[in-house]
Amino acid sequence: MAIIHDVAAYLIDQLRPSVTDPMKLHKLAYFSQGWTLALLDRPLFEDDFEAWTYGPVAPVLYAEHRQRRYLPSWPLGDPNRLDAQETFIVGNVVRQYGALGGWQLSQLTHMAGSPWSEVRAREGVAPDMPSQVTIGKDSIKEYFKQLLA
């Protein structure tokens, strides 16, 4: 199994020559996790996402890029650690969503019924308020399975 840093490195490598902003990185990692859960019935990586104001954020990634606006590389990960199925799924996430900016991807995570909106509603967190509530992998998996149907 890959770790989240491997996925981040793969995403940034696939998006070159453009640099990736942190919001875009988090959302693409989230979509990669969601599609892997739905298609392979297992997580892509073990780290969790939290329901922050602008969508799902992986605190472990945030801790490494805090205060950086652009991410031209991710030296903490090795994109070659993704297996063939993981590479296929994450590559398709890049093809499907990679042309969108961070704000556009954020809006996709805010759709009614999404795990982000559901966990924030359940916890009583207003849309514009900060939150560090964890988005469970089971809810992410079920949401992306519904998208397949």
The per-residue pLDDT for range 92-148, each reduced to its tens digit, is: 999 999 999 999 999 999 999 999 999 999 999 987 888 999 999 999 999 999 999
Instruction: Tell me the three state secondary structure of residue 61.
Output: helix
Cα–chain center distance at 48:
10
Distance CA 12, CA 38 (A): 23
Q: Quote the CA–CA distance of 48 and 137 in Å, as a whole number.
A: 7
Nearest to 30, CA basis, from 77, 79, 90: 90
pTM for this structure?
A: 0.96
